[in-house]
Amino acid sequence: MPARRTSVPEARRRVLAVLHEWGAAEQVRDDAELVVSELFTNAVRHTDSEKVDCELTVLGAFLRVEVTDQGRGGSTPHVQPGSVDKECGRGLFLVGALSESWGVRPDPTGRGRTVWADLAYGSPTAH
């Protein structure tokens, strides 16, 4: 999707549609919607990307949400100290609170990175 703020609601809509099709529980859909919103927004705001990709994968009992940008930001994404009390900068704190784990890895193309989060999903299902 284009790396624009206006793409964030569309990314959320697409994620919710896929999860609804997969029969995911409401809590999973809600958590994934928030995680995608935060990760996609960060990719748009903090990188020089022209497009941002989002991928969902079921890995055993987890739903992996991955958001990949094309550009390099100023630093590796991390939780901001004191971000709980700030209006801005809470995104990765929320991602950490909603996910079992999350992290960052370089994109295989050598440009950009993927930020991922594993959410509790339930019983293993092939998708």
Residue 89 sits in a domain whose CATH number is 3.30.565.10
Give me the number of domains the chain comprises. Answer: 1
Burial class (CB in 10 A: 0-12, 13-18, 19+), 121: buried
Domain residues for the domain of 113 are: 7-120
Q: Residue 75's closest CA among 102, 108, 42?
A: 42
* Dihedral class, residue 122 (left if φ above 0, else alpha if ψ from -120 to 50, else beta): left
- In terms of Cα–Cα distance, which of 11, 34, 12, 19 is closest to 125? 19
Residue 2 is assigned to a structural domain of this protein: no
- pTM for this model (two decimals): 0.81
| 49, two tokens | 């990307």
The token pair that represents 43 in the structure block? 């990719």
Structural domain contains residue 89:
yes
Q: Each residue of 37-87: pLDDT tens digit?
A: 999 999 998 888 999 999 999 999 999 999 999 976 555 554 555 544 445
